Structure 1
Amino acid sequence: MKRILAVLLGLALVLSLAACSQGNHTQKNIPYSKLNQREKTALNFTENLYSGNKSKQYAAIDRFTAKQTISSLKEKISAGKFQQTFHAVEVLKGVNVKSGKGNEFLVLLEMKDQKNVTNKRIVVMAGDKVLHILSGNSKTYAKELGS
């Protein structure tokens, strides 16, 4: 009788743990070793853009952004934008999309602020250069990124 009760109790425990894990919909990051070159570019760009260090920000813009984007991003930094710093930047997803502008590559990133609050950003790329960086709340690419 004790064995049956122990088995039933064990089964109930396993089922309750399984039910708890199904409610967890967190997206896993892609390990750095598995990132493609464009995902690495988006990651490096975002880490430096949100580093709080102006020299790193300007260097990242010069190195990673498309020519048509460089001046507008530098103007934003001069105007005091991108002052918020983030750490633990991770790539969640990279996906190719066709748009009216041609082929673009989207990278969904997740990062944490000073209070460890999670934020998301979307990096839009043409070829190997960054065109835009958008808030993760942007509805523009929600369908493509499944967010």
Structure 2
Amino acid sequence: MGIRQQTIDDYGAFVEKFKPKKTTDDCYTPPEVYETIKDWACREYGIDPSKVVRPFYPGGDYESFDYSDGKVVVDNPPFSILSKICAFYRDRGIPFFLFAPNLTIFSSTSRNGAHMLVTDCAIEYANGAIVNTSFVTSFGDDLIRTAPDLTKL
């Protein structure tokens, strides 16, 4: 390899260090996936679709969001603060149905009054990340349950 090619390669590696890295907090849900899950949750738990809100978007502030008039959160939150989000909703009596990574569903939510809905859903998010995804919710009576019908959808 010539010195010019090595310089170009070194520069490319240098520039790469400064590019923002994608994390599981950057896993934006494709619309068709979101709609399928929202429709299932509304049917399963009797949620009025007109009351569904999505407070998690780039630059959004879920803590300042208006949850009045019986709004229900059905959304894909930043996974890194899922436990904090569940506690926030539990403490304020805000009903929710949230996406959650399979790997941490039990450790991050069981202490926060959330019910865990375990599925075998490998979702490909908008950034190309494929995450085995389950859900946490304030709905239902079981601490842990499965949803084979949701997995099939």
TM-score, normalised by the number of residues in structure 2: 0.30
Query: Greater strand percent: which structure?
Result: 1
Instruction: Look at both structures and tell me which one has the larger radius of gyration over its CA atoms.
Output: 1
